[in-house]
Structure 1
Amino acid sequence: MASLTTLNWKDIVDVSRPSLWIAVSAIAFNPIAWNIIARNEYKNKTITRIFGGNPRYGCYFLAIMIFSFGMLRDSLATRAMYEQPQVALLPEPYATYVPVALIGVGQLFTITSTWALGITGTFLGDYFGILMDHRVEGFPFNVLRDPMYMGSTISFFGGALWLERPVGLLGALYVYLVYMIALRYEGPFTDMIYSKREASKKEL
């Protein structure tokens, strides 16, 4: 296994591996696709119509799709890392403790945010017209504004350190960038949905 002090960038990232570019594409595909599908649902109710006008069934279907493609993305990213150069990134025992801690924290943020929001709150239910009664302000939302996205990013960092793949650290930064770009579109649109509901309440 190589050491960071004796490497150049070609020893860290093997750009000739197709699996690397498949993983890069999969990471970008998920938030882009779901935002496009969700906006179409808000405007045209395409999925809702498929499920006989039941928005909750439509949201559950989208939740299954998002979760499944998320698992596929993680699998592709892990496979890509295994095909990349392995480098000792941290000395023992930190090489074990740090990635385990990061993965644990990342999963904690992801799981608790899903629990707090529920299925429809997590998986774009507001685009189906399934709105929450009030803003969730408890843990983990009192720690991070976007704990699910941050939790996923932290888990990616932990996975890269666990597998000792420097390309995984670059991949985690890429994940973070993709999420931040998605939030610039997703956040204001969601705020608009709830603002319209409040405006409608005032008119009653």
Structure 2
Amino acid sequence: MATQNLEYLIKNFGSFIDLNKKSLTLSLASIAFNPTAWNIVARNEYKNKTITRMFGGNTRYGCYFLAILIFSFGILRDNLYHQALLEQPRYPMLPKEYATIVPAILFGLGQLFVVTSTWQLGVTGTFLGDYFGILMDHRVEGFPFNVLRDPMYVGSTMCFLATALWLERPVGLLVTAYVYIVYLLALRFEGPFTDMIYSKRAEAEKAKLL
């Protein structure tokens, strides 16, 4: 029975996607907006110190302000995704005996990666503090960074997948793949720029010793 359901889902996947729903378009837009906007804002902060100047030159207050924005828009993104799925066609993607446990485990692991990443990095480390000049003293190597290179992005993607499976909305699988691609693209811009920031600090420290 489970095999038949899977075959039916694969053959008729397109019928479980309603592109006429504005909620789906809005959800996809919010998913792309978040990492794109924060990378642009952070780079501008590094070059022009726009947010820092708003807070009288206090870099930590500026970073905390950006952290509140990122966190708030993240909640909005998740709510838009949830609403979009509810307005899409429903179809069970897992056998009945796994329909609850699998998404629950996925979501739990995803949240574990996200929460422990935040704990290890702290507020400034998590929310682009290095663009404000708030650099970490050393590379974080504890869990979950000892098992995943980008645990926060992986954990977030897992939560998107878990939600799709829990609500039994096949379109959520497509959105999850989209989320992962957006994150990969964001990392292509974020990673090298962050490396450059730390490389400049290392060069400055080396120059002081000469």
So what's the TM-score if we normalise by structure 2? Answer: 0.94
SS in 2 for 1:87: coil
SS in 2 for 1:88: coil
Q: Does the CA contact (< 8 Å) of 1:31 and 1:179 recur in 2?
A: yes
Aligned 1:175-190 pairs, distance under 5 A: 175-190=179-194
| Residues 140-169 of structure 1: CA deviation (Å, up to 9, x unaligned) | 000000000000001111110000001001
Which of 188, 192, 196 in structure 2 is aligned with 1:192?
A: 196
Post-superposition shift, 1:4?
4.9
Q: Does the CA contact (< 8 Å) of 1:113 and 1:147 recur in 2?
A: yes
Residue of structure 2 in register with 1:121 after alignment: 125
Q: Percent identity?
A: 68
Which of 161, 164, 169 in structure 2 is aligned with 1:157?
A: 161
Q: Does the CA contact (< 8 Å) of 2:13 and 2:170 recur in 1?
A: no
Post-superposition shift, 1:91?
0.9
Which residue identity lines up with residue 46 of structure 1 in the other structure? T
Aligned 1:1-204 pairs, distance under 5 A: 3-6=5-8, 8-204=12-208
Count the aligned residue pairs.
Answer: 202
Q: Does the CA contact (< 8 Å) of 1:4 and 1:88 recur in 2?
A: no
Q: Does the CA contact (< 8 Å) of 1:27 and 1:73 recur in 2?
A: yes
Which residue identity lines up with residue 156 of structure 1 in the other structure? F
**Structure 1 segments unaligned to the other structure (5+ residues):** none
User: In structure 1, what is the Cα distance between the partners aligned to 2:14 and 2:140?
Assistant: 46
> What root-mean-square deviation, in Å, do the aligned CA atoms of Structure 1 and Structure 2 show?
0.9
User: In structure 2, what is the Cα distance between the partners aligned to 1:11 and 1:100?
Assistant: 26
SS in 2 for 1:53: coil
